[in-house]
């Protein structure tokens, strides 16, 4: 098969097509990725990635993409199916409005990871920044899952409308040892957040409350945290053997009483 | 406490003409007419009447008339009836007052204080019946220059960015499926395709019944990201990022869970019965740089085949914001003025935020020209466009095209009763009730919406002819063909027009 040669060097290594992203503009890099996927390639390895944006953006396929380096903003935004494994960190908006697929990050993530995602899974081994999981949603059988190995910054799960976020807090920041930042789950009206720590209810934002874990919650955590541990070579028993706090919405209609027409009946 | 709240309207029924058919009872979704079959007694709940006039027009014997209530509070120029009613409502409920349609306060309308020029003697006017008139407009980025290649004929060498081709510079504004019915959406989609223009989906997604018209539909990405999906983005003709809207600048939106029916849930891809909350900002956009990131995320997702628009409300600093939007890579900036309609908005925002569209168009157009980037993107104006004259004036002030919302709904039968947010629209437009929806036939709706576009287009041609122009683009930013009547000097300066007589 003919592999298109642009500035991005493309070669083959076993079952992988290897794309060298060194010094390549994102637009060209993504064009190469799209062409390869369109030609039926299903295993891509991108090397020397250094902040290129939009990798796997809007991609509809069941392909597997390995990224070596730092993935730039909006990794797999609007994606519909691909598995993206990052051996490095990801920048803002990884999984933004993703519909289906998986993102596995061996390093850290910055802000708005999983913003508005509707389906698929994101596993981040390290810490994540601000506004992560904002407005995550779910739709029928699509229930997105976001698992964070480290800690999360402020506004985690704000306006959350569905899906599940798990924060394990396996490592803590010296400067801010809390498992999640301020304004946790403000305006949440769907979904749930599980934090592997005790969390005072007074730290929650408007519309959120703490609820006891049920048997189903435990089973969910065993499955997802188990998968997380197997990916990142952790002992699942050790990780799961801890207190979890579950944060849920007080109501699916947080603004029901805000307007005069509702009160007039 | 006595609820001293005079009704706005009174229902008058000619008892001699009335045949007790009870049609009015069935027609009124607000429960104004009540008939006690046992006692054979009528009761009219005047306080519930919204003056939509449905019962009056459906009464087979024309026995009903709706009048302004003669009972009002004692007149007072400051403490108007509305002010007193609002205070009483809020004292009762402790809640935000919700309303619909456009700004109701009597601000000055610049459209009504601008007049168009006409040819007399020295440069002859053109008869559009005899000579071709060009209304076709392209929306999107234009190249700096055009390079041609010659081999076996002439070929365009310059790569042109994707543009939308409009046969008339009027499009149907973004109104979501959810705020209005699928029949209303279908009416506009068919009309848009027939006339060669476009309609917007709003944030409610694209119903499967609209797929056959998708090449004439602009999809929307708003802060709730409802329905946003790679297939949805790829299906439409263009994508519009909604930052703000003229009827409620700076705030988000809440579609109440009770309106998220099974079908709405499917189109928006959200659970049934849950509030659909669009946050005030996009949480991935806190700067022009962040906006650029989303613009290019959408362009990448659609392989640079779709123009991407950005819609903002017309606010104080609209010009530098619009310049930032165009520099960020948008193919068009949509500016929504403070008279824009809505299906639901807090009254305080609808009536008190934003600036007139006329001033916004003029300042954005001027600023883009000053910076030498007017051709980078188009200007689409919306918010209170009521007639072909408004369209012509908007274009003369600097717009490329306009969006019409309220006017399109009026064409479909809306009477502007301002109760869209109740979901009880008696004319089958702003409702999801299966019985009420039957009142709007999409075939008839499409015919009427297309007729409106045709009539306005015809008038636009006549206006151009009177101005001695033969193409709409010769009118664009041609402010010399406008004069102001009764405007102050600073207003004339902002609009860039001379006073009448000068």
Of B95, B112, B133, the residue at which a domain comes to its end is B95
pLDDT, tens digit (0-9, with 9 covering 90-100), for A173-199: 999 999 999 999 999 999 999 999 999
Of B66, B95, B124, the residue at which a domain comes to its end is B95
pLDDT for the residue B347: 95
Q: Note whether A115 contacts B284, CB cutoff 8 Å.
A: yes
Minimal CA separation from A117 to chain B, in Å: 9
Same domain, B172 and B89: no
Residue B346 lies in a domain: yes
**CATH number for position A243:** 2.160.20.60
Q: Which of A253, A256, A264 to mutate to test the interface with B (most CBs of B within 10 A)?
A: A253
Indicate the length of chain A as a whole number. Answer: 265
> Residues B56, B61, B62, CA angle at the centre, nearest 5°?
30
Residue A162 lies in a domain: yes
pLDDT for the residue B152: 85
Among chain A residues, CA nearest to B346: A259
Q: Which of A78, A162, A261 has its CB closest to that of B230?
A: A78
ipTM: 0.94
Minimal CA separation from A3 to chain B, in Å: 20
Among chain A residues, CA nearest to B254: A255
Exposure letters B364-402 (e unless 16+ CB within 10 A, then b): bbbbbeeeeebebbbbbbbbbbeebbbbbbbbbbbbbbb
Residues 160-199 of B with CB under 8 A from A: none
Residue B204 lies in a domain: yes
Among chain B residues, CA nearest to A56: B301
Residue B142 lies in a domain: no
Residue A5's pLDDT band, with cuts at 50, 70 and 90, is: very low
Q: Which of B90, B230, B279 has its CB closest to that of A60?
A: B230
Contact between B278 and B253 (Cβ < 8 Å):
yes
Minimal CA separation from A190 to chain B, in Å: 8
Q: Is residue B127 classed as helix, strand or coil in its secondary structure?
A: coil
Is the pLDDT at A4 greater than 60? The verdict is: no
Q: What's the domain range around A239?
A: 108-257
Residue A6's pLDDT band, with cuts at 50, 70 and 90, is: low
Residue A218 lies in a domain: yes
Is the pLDDT at A265 greater than 70? The verdict is: no
pLDDT along chain B (502 residues), means of 10: 91 96 98 96 96 98 96 94 94 93 95 97 91 96 93 90 98 96 98 98 95 98 94 97 96 86 92 87 94 98 97 98 98 98 95 98 98 98 98 98 98 97 96 97 98 98 97 97 98 98 96
Same domain, B335 and B193: yes
3-state secondary structure chain A: CCCCCCCCEEEEECCEEEEECCCCCHHHHHHHHHHHHHCCCCEEEEEEEECCCCCCCCCECCCEEEEEEEECCCCCCCCEEEEEEEECCECCCCCCCCCEEEEEECCCECCCCCCCCCCCEEEECCCCCCCCCCCCCCECCECCEEEECCCECCCCCCCCEEEEEEECCCCCCCCCCCCECCCECCCCCEEEEEECCCCCHHHECCCEEEECCCHHHHHHHHHHHHHHHHHCCCCHHHHHCCCCEEEEECCCCCCCCCEHHHHHC
Partners of B93 on chain A (C-beta within 8 Å) are 260, 263-264
pLDDT, tens digit (0-9, with 9 covering 90-100), for A196-218: 999 988 899 999 999 999 999 99
Task: Look at chain B and report how many structural domains it folds into.
Answer: 2
Same domain, B86 and B185: no
Minimal CA separation from B156 to chain A, in Å: 23
Task: Look at chain A and report how many structural domains it folds into.
Answer: 1
Residue tagged 């997380």 (tokens): A228
Q: Note whether B297 contacts A54, CB cutoff 8 Å.
A: yes
Q: Note whether A78 contacts B233, CB cutoff 8 Å.
A: yes
3-state secondary structure B189-226: HHHHHHHCCCEECHHHCCCHHHHHHHHHEEEEECCCCC
Based on the number of CB atoms within 10 Å of its own CB, is B84 exposed (0-12), middle (13-18) or buried (19 or more)?
middle
Query: Which H helix or E strand runs over B277?
Result: strand B276-278
How many angstroms separate the Cα of B297 from the Cα of each of A134, B105, B284?
A: 18, 40, 12
Same domain, B196 and B67: no
Based on the number of CB atoms within 10 Å of its own CB, is A103 exposed (0-12), middle (13-18) or buried (19 or more)?
buried
Residue A230 lies in a domain: yes
Query: Which H helix or E strand runs over B185?
Result: helix B182-195
Among chain B residues, CA nearest to A94: B284
Residue B324 lies in a domain: yes
Is the pLDDT at A231 greater than 90? The verdict is: yes
**CATH number for position B250:** 3.20.20.70
Q: What's the domain range around B419?
A: 167-499
Based on the number of CB atoms within 10 Å of its own CB, is B499 exposed (0-12), middle (13-18) or buried (19 or more)?
middle
Contact between A191 and A201 (Cβ < 8 Å):
no
pLDDT for the residue A264: 44
d(CA A109, CA A91): 6
Residue A36 lies in a domain: no
pLDDT, tens digit (0-9, with 9 covering 90-100), for A9-47: 999 999 999 999 999 999 999 999 999 999 999 999 999
Same domain, B233 and B334: yes
**CATH number for position B78:** 3.30.70.20
Q: Which of B90, B277, B302 has its CB closest to that of A189?
A: B277
Partners of B154 in the β-ladder: B150
Contact between B392 and B463 (Cβ < 8 Å):
yes
Residue A208 lies in a domain: yes
Residue A262 lies in a domain: no
Residue A194 lies in a domain: yes
d(CA B420, CA B431): 8
A37 touches chain B (CB under 8 A): no
Residue A120 lies in a domain: yes
Would you state the structure tokens that stand for residue B20, as one six-digit string?
């007790």
Q: Note whether A58 contacts B279, CB cutoff 8 Å.
A: no
pLDDT for the residue B258: 83
d(CA A57, CA A96): 9
Of B95, B129, B146, the residue at which a domain comes to its end is B95
């Amino acid at each position: 098969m003919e592999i298109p040669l642009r500035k991005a060097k493309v070669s083959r290594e076993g079952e992988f097509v290897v794309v060298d992203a060194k010094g390549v503009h994102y637009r060209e890099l993504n064009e190469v990725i799209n062409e390869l996927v369109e030609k039926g390639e299903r295993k891509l390895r991108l090397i020397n990635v250094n902040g290129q944006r939009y990798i796997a953006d809007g991609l509809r396929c069941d392909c597997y993409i390995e990224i070596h380096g730092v993935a730039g903003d909006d990794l797999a935004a609007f994606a519909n199916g691909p598995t993206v494994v990052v051996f490095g960190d990801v920048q803002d908006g990884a999984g933004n409005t993703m519909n289906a697929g998986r993102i596995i990050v061996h390093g850290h993530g910055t802000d708005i990871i999983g913003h508005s995602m509707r389906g698929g899974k994101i596993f981040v081994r390290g810490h994540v920044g601000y506004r992560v999981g904002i407005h995550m949603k779910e739709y029928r059988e699509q229930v997105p899952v976001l698992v964070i190995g480290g800690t999360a910054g402020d506004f985690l799960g704000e306006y959350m409308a569905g899906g599940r976020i798990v924060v394990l807090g396996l490592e803590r920041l010296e400067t801010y040892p809390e498992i999640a930042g301020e304004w946790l789950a403000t305006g949440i009206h769907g979904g749930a957040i599980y934090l592997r720590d005790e969390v005072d209810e007074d730290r929650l934002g408007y519309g959120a409350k703490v609820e006891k874990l049920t048997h189903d919650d435990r089973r969910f955590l065993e499955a997802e945290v188990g998968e997380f541990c197997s990916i990142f070579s952790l002992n699942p028993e050790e990780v799961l053997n801890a207190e979890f706090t579950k944060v849920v919405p007080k109501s699916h209609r947080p603004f029901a009483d805000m307007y005069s027409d509702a009160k007039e009946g | 406490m006595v609820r001293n709240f005079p009704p706005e309207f009174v229902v008058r029924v000619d008892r001699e003409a009335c045949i007790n058919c009870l049609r009015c009872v069935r027609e009124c979704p607000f429960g104004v007419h009540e008939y006690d079959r046992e006692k054979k007694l009528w009761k009219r709940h005047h306080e519930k009447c919204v003056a939509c006039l449905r019962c009056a027009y459906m009464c087979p014997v024309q026995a009903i008339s709706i009048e302004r209530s003669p009972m009002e509070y004692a007149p007072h120029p400051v403490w108007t009836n509305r002010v007193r009613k609002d205070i009483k409502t809020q004292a009762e409920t402790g809640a935000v007052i919700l309303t619909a349609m456009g700004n109701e306060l009597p601000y000055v309308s610049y459209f009504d204080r601008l007049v168009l020029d006409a040819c007399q003697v020295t440069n002859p006017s053109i008869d559009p019946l005899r000579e071709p008139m060009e209304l076709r407009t392209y929306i999107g980025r234009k190249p700096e220059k055009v390079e041609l290649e010659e081999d076996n004929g002439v070929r365009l060498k310059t790569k042109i960015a994707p543009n939308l081709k409009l046969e008339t510079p009027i499009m149907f504004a973004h109104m979501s499926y959810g705020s209005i019915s699928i029949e209303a959406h279908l009416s506009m989609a068919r009309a848009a395709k027939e006339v060669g223009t476009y309609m917007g989906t709003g944030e409610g997604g694209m119903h499967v019944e609209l797929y056959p018209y998708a090449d004439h539909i602009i999809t929307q990405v708003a802060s709730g990201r409802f329905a946003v999906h790679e297939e949805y983005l790829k299906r439409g003709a263009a994508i519009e990022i909604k930052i703000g809207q003229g009827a409620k600048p700076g705030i988000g939106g809440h579609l109440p869970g009770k309106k998220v029916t099974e079908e709405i849930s499917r189109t928006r891809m959200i659970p049934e019965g849950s509030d659909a909350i669009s946050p005030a900002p996009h949480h991935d956009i806190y700067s022009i740089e962040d906006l650029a990131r989303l613009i290019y995320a959408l362009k990448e997702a659609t392989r640079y085949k779709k123009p991407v628009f950005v819609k903002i409300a017309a606010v104080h600093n609209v010009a530098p914001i619009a310049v930032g939007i165009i520099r960020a890579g948008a193919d068009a900036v949509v500016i929504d003025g403070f008279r824009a309609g809505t299906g639901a908005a807090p009254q305080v925002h609808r009536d008190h935020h934003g600036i007139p569209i006329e001033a916004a168009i003029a300042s954005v157009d001027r600023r883009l020209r000053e910076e030498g980037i007017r051709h980078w993107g188009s200007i689409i104006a919306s918010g209170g466009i009521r007639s072909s004259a408004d369209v012509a004036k908007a274009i003369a002030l600097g717009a490329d095209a306009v969006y019409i919302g309220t006017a399109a709904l009026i064409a479909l039968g809306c009477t502007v009763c301002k109760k869209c947010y109740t979901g009880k629209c008696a004319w089958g437009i702003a409702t999801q009730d299966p019985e009420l929806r039957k009142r709007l036939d999409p075939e008839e709706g499409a015919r009427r919406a297309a007729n409106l576009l045709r009539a306005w287009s015809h008038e636009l041609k006549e206006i151009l002819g009177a101005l001695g122009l033969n193409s709409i683009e010769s009118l664009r930013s041609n402010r010399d063909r406008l004069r102001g009547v009764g405007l102050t000097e600073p207003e004339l300066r902002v609009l860039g027009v001379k006073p009448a007589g000068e």
